[in-house]
Amino acid sequence: MSTTKRVVKCLLPYWFHILLLLCCVAAVTAATLIVPTKLGELFNVIQGYASSSATGSEAADSLRLLNVTALTVVAVYVAKSVFTYGQTYLSYFLGQRVAVDLRDKLFRHVQRLSMSFHERQRSGEIVSRFTNDVSVIQNALINGATDLISQTAVLVGALVRVFLLNWRLALLMVVMMPLVTGLVGRLGKRVRTLTSLVQAKIADATSILQETLSGIRVVKAFTMEDLEIERFARENENAFELGMKSARIGASMVPAIEMLAVVGLSFVLWLGGREVLAGRLSIGDVISFLLLIAVAAAPLSNLSRIYHGMLQGLAASDRVFDILDLESEIADAPGAVELKSIRGAVELDNVVFGYGDGTRALDGVSVSIKPGQTVALVGPSGAGKTTFANLIPRFFDPDEGVVRIDGVDIRNVKIESLRKQIGLVPQETILFGVSVRENIAVGNRHASFAQIVQAAKAAYAHDFIMKLPQGYETQVGERGVTLSGGQRQRIAIARAILRNPAILILDEATSSLDTESEKLVQAAVDNLLKGRTTFIIAHRLSTIINADLILVMDNGKIVESGSHEELIRQRGLYARLYAAQFIRPEVV
């Protein structure tokens, strides 16, 4: 389906408003065309009266016609004003409505795309699609479409009328139109290409803005302000240069079309004068003809501007629909079933996974975890620990092998039901810009306030929450910036406790905390682990000494497994990692 058809499809739910809009456009067009015709007729009457010996009665009739025509023109313009208001309002409504619908559709779709999309795509690029591109569609395409219809209607109406007046003069206008449309079409293709490049550069600049604002502490700490300013300025300037190329082409359309129109008008005056001298056309008809040409000239000139704007809208639409056309790589299989209450047994059977760069993040991993076990994943950076954990909630699917929960291949169950059984506490806690209560309730949106408080107490978060200005109703700010790291972690743990999952994935919650906060968070973690199958991605080995099973990973493989004591006795990779953190390496 073409981009234009897809935009039209977005408008179809509002067919009644479109119908009203078209009625307003028709009324405005009719009013625009009536006046030149009436003025020409009036001039013919006056000319006829002046060239003959009129009686008093004929003079009175002429005066009456003059009065009626003047009043008709006023009435027509009053009606035109009313319908122009309706046209403008409905056009704005449709533009706003489609923009809202597109943003909503985009947000829904992006939310459901797989993690691989979010890891590949820069957040600033996505934000640009929501803001810049949708705004361009709204302003240039939807509103431009209304102008295109109204201006085309006026142009066609004027052409029909001039053909009825004199076909010889009308032919001149018809000859000029292919020259105009050919010029517009040729320049328009270049404009659309440049507009796509401009939008891409704006997205690049938006991405830099997003990255800089998100990492402003790092920027300031490493005195990177000038570097980031230079990066942003470079992309901003690139967008400007491409925008000016597009503007130069767009600006050249109007004078080129006006020049062609002037040439055509000169021919009309010349040929019209010959027709009057030959007696085939009256002076009033020539005046009507010239007024109709003036009426048609504005749409003919505006069409290039409107077309230029619509090309920008189509280019932006392409970028929006590119996102909407993406399919999630992780989706429910046909016939997928609900995963009901589970015991929490997890099995990876000869699992192989790669991120697409040719290297294997996991290479033939096999392990069987019993319900309720606490399993620690340790190893050097890049060993595959996070990838291992990401496969359990089906953020990714293995290239080979199977992941099973309670003996069931997780690819055969509904994703939502699977993830409801799993809790996640990431190392970098993400809180939303809502109240503390709402952040904890993310774990269970149907929980009562008493259950939220109980979860907070179990996470050792209740006391500090009650000291906040509005207690549980305190707004935490974007990403929880008003709270300390330990406080954010305890809210994240309360969130997981409230969810009450059978399986828990814990990305070392205490690795970046001070000693006091670490003790409180560790106590909260101990409460969280009870009765659950838990996977801990461990950075501080002191936190997983009591784990039931420690899986030591390296280069995408499990190279060692066992309890802390067993692994120390093996004097392998785990023993070396432990020694590096706590004792001199030569002791091991």
User: Would you tell me the crossing angle of helices 283-324 and 167-214 to the nearest 10 degrees?
Assistant: 30
Supply 148's token pair: 């295109």
Better-predicted residue by pLDDT, 308 or 489: 489
Query: Could you tell me which CATH class the domain 3-324 is placed in?
Result: mainly alpha
- State how far Cα 111 lies from the chain centre: 11
Mean pLDDT of the chain: 79
Instruction: Spell out a b/e string for 254-280, using b for 16 or more CB atoms within 10 Å of the CB, else e.
Output: eebbeebbeebbeebeebbeebeeeee
For domain 346-587, the question of CATH label 3.40.50.620 is answered with no
Residue 510: pLDDT above 90? no
Q: How far apart are CA 319 and CA 584, in angstroms?
A: 57
Matching fold, domains 3-324 and 346-587: no
What pLDDT, on a 0 to 100 scale, did the predictor assign at position 348? 92
**Domain residue spans of the chain:** 3-324, 346-587
pTM of the prediction? 0.65
Supply 199's token pair: 């939008």
Residue 16: pLDDT above 80? yes
**Taking residues 464-480, what's their average pLDDT?**
82
Least confident range of 224-233, 328-337, 411-420, 554-563? 224-233
Residues 6+ apart with CB under 8 A from 320: 102, 106, 129, 133, 134, 137
**Taking residues 518-522, what's their average pLDDT?**
69
What pLDDT, on a 0 to 100 scale, did the predictor assign at position 586? 45
Residue 321: pLDDT above 60? yes
What pLDDT, on a 0 to 100 scale, did the predictor assign at position 181? 60
DSSP state of 376: E
What pLDDT, on a 0 to 100 scale, did the predictor assign at position 357? 66
What pLDDT, on a 0 to 100 scale, did the predictor assign at position 588? 42
Which helix (H) or strand (E) is 143 found in, with range? helix 143-165
Using one digit for the tens of pLDDT, what is the confidence trace for 534-569? 898 887 777 788 888 999 999 889 999 999 988 888
Using one digit for the tens of pLDDT, what is the confidence trace for 205-246? 777 777 777 667 656 655 667 777 887 888 888 878 877 877
